[in-house]
Amino acid sequence: MATRTRSAAREEDRSASSAEVPTAFLPPAEELERLKLSPEVAWYLVSRGIALPDCPPRWKTPEPRDVVDAAFDPDRVDHVLASFRQLRHTQGRLAGLPLIPDPWQVAYILAPVFGWVRWDEDAEAYVRIIRTLYVDVPRKNGKSTLCGGIAIYMACADGEQGAQVVTAATSERQAGFVFNPIKTLAAKSRALARFVKALAKKVIHKPSGSTIEVVSSAADAQHGANIHCGVVDELHVHKTPDLLEAIETGTGSRTQPLIVIITTADSGRRETAYDRKRRLVEQLASGVLVDETTYGVIWCADPEADPFAEATQRAANPGYGISPTRAYLRSKANGARNSPAELAAYQRLHLGVRTKQETKYLTLVSWDRNAGAVDEDALTGREAFGGLDLASTSDLIALCWLFPDDGGYDALWRLWTPEENVANLDKRTAKAASRWVKEGLLLTTPGNVADYDFVQAQIEQDIETFDVASLGYDPWNATQLTNNLSAAGAPLVKVRQGLQTLSPPLKEVQRLLLAGREDRPLLRHGGNPAVRWQVDNLSVHTDPAGNVKPDKARSAEKIDAVSSLVTAMSEAMGRAPTRRSAYADEGAELTVI
């Protein structure tokens, strides 16, 4: 029965398959890439007479085109848009008119989220692939209306019986901002009048028994949780991630739930609920992480662009000229121009710029440019300098080997984690950690604490394989492992982790990456994705004299692989202060001050 149902459903959706998408009348591939439109979505827009928008987001995660059994179903998108048109605008010059999403909302939000489906064996049907939608866009670009339309669709038209749709608010005042537009849209729709009952704090869809209501605490979200859709407006005002996490974990029993996060930018504070979600989307968009169930778009201006230029305003505001209007943005720009105190607010609220966001010391552009190819077998017998980071026995341990060659270096990493920590890493890497384990890029040791015997065995094997000149490590984290390696004759060197020691090698790493080219990379690393994730996490500490070092406390996530690289570079450079004996009776162990 399941096979027959699957076959029938597949036959019905053949026209929706990505392999069947017509390409006639579509712009060339280069133009689609500039617009950040997939061929499927572009075809949908053209076939429905919807203009292709020319306002691509600065960041856009990949659409789930490569998921097994994935198909783009245009009928589902049609259904969403038809449902939106049954609603009516409630404010301003559009009040009373049908709620017709703008082309950019269809192209970059509604079509990707509701169009991409895959076959689900348990449901014996096609279900949505995307389970989390993140939209980061400046004010006055129709966020509340879009939130309302999605919430009402998920409760009243998604075909889910007893759907629980919740909207998240951190206070009674914010609850009004979030829920009132939804209630008003539902109450004023003639098409819904017979089916919907709008109460003070709840909207009820009578035929399906579905509801829309506000939750303002994790306890509220967890109470009887069987959430089909959660709408989180203005994530940046949430002081903790508790409410969002409660909503996310409350969707487990639904076949195709959807979490919708629509927000403006924050000021750049680290380790907030907003910061974590924003960074995740940026990492997915840049290919550092992979998660087909999460889709995000971020509109924001280049922080280096002229904040008052029309081109900058256009780039940050996909609804430019309609909502927000030109006059509105001009007035906000004039206020910011005449008042430095208003400039930061203007940049954040109307250009999407995180005003306190730090500049990346090592950029992914330069890192990727230097990937090159690293053949471990070809490294046998070559001179090597090592860096060992033992900062966390319950999370990651990193070992980096640098092999000088032709004015640059080949870099090779060994990464370990306790096997019981992989699930925790998966949560922080959009499930990439399990993939790294399968690919042999991340090695596991039994239990919940790193087994140093595995690390020691690998280091001793590497010393036999490579011509190891020295292996640097942080003496603050000295363990029995370093004592054992020293006793075995390993050329260990204590490398202090202060600015004086780490600034020259970190600056050298930056110099090599900036100077390297694709045809002549100077720090060849092979594109190791587990290391790339940590490079993207890096924050640095800088003193008044311009000295720098990796800053684990301020970095968004793990940077152990980068720390081991910098320690190895300290050894490889040969420009550190003169090495001296650490102990008279331990001639194999040296120290770098």
Topology of the domain covering 364-592: Nucleotidyltransferase; domain 5 (3.30.420)
pLDDT digits 0-9 by tens, 480-494: 889 999 999 999 999
**pLDDT the model gives residue 578:** 36
Q: Two tokens at 480?
A: 């029995």
Lowest mean pLDDT among 102-116, 138-152, 432-446, 569-583: 569-583
pLDDT band per the 50, 70, 90 thresholds, residue 108: very high
Report whether pLDDT(92) > 80.
Answer: no
* Mean model confidence pLDDT for the chain: 88
* 153-165 average pLDDT score: 95
Report whether pLDDT(6) > 60.
Answer: no
* 283-287 average pLDDT score: 95
Report whether pLDDT(415) > 80.
Answer: yes
- Residue 244 CA to residue 266 CA, distance in Å, equals 17
**pLDDT the model gives residue 180:** 84
Residue showing tokens 């709620």: 99
Return residue ranges of the chain for CATH 3.40.50.300: 2-298
Residue showing tokens 């990464």: 415
* 175-202 average pLDDT score: 84
Report whether pLDDT(582) > 50.
Answer: no
Answer for the pair 347, 366: CB distance below 8 angstroms, yes or no. no
Return residue ranges of the chain for CATH 3.30.420.240: 364-592
Answer for the pair 265, 354: CB distance below 8 angstroms, yes or no. yes
**pLDDT the model gives residue 81:** 97
- Residue 261 CA to residue 232 CA, distance in Å, equals 5
**pLDDT the model gives residue 5:** 39
List Cβ neighbours of 557 (8 Å cut-off, separation of 6 or more). 428, 533, 534, 537
Lowest mean pLDDT among 138-142, 152-156, 322-326, 587-591: 587-591
Q: Two tokens at 251?
A: 């969707």
Assign 480 to helix, strand or coil.
Answer: helix
pLDDT digits 0-9 by tens, 445-501: 999 988 999 999 999 999 999 999 999 998 887 678 899 999 999 999 999 989 999
Q: What CATH number does domain 2-298 carry, 3.40.50.300, 3.40.190.10, 3.20.20.140, 3.30.2290.10?
A: 3.40.50.300
Lowest mean pLDDT among 7-11, 134-138, 391-395, 545-549: 7-11
**pLDDT the model gives residue 225:** 76
Tell if the pTM clears 0.75, that is, is over it. Answer: yes
Query: Computed over its alpha carbons, how large is the radius of gyration of the chain?
Result: 27
Report whether pLDDT(4) > 70.
Answer: no
List Cβ neighbours of 488 (8 Å cut-off, separation of 6 or more). 460
pLDDT band per the 50, 70, 90 thresholds, residue 90: confident
List Cβ neighbours of 461 (8 Å cut-off, separation of 6 or more). none
Report whether pLDDT(133) > 50.
Answer: yes
- Residue 285 CA to residue 60 CA, distance in Å, equals 5
pLDDT digits 0-9 by tens, 431-441: 899 999 999 99
Q: Which of 88, 95, 93 minimizes the C-alpha distance to 185?
A: 88
* 106-116 average pLDDT score: 98
**pLDDT the model gives residue 98:** 86
List Cβ neighbours of 29 (8 Å cut-off, separation of 6 or more). none
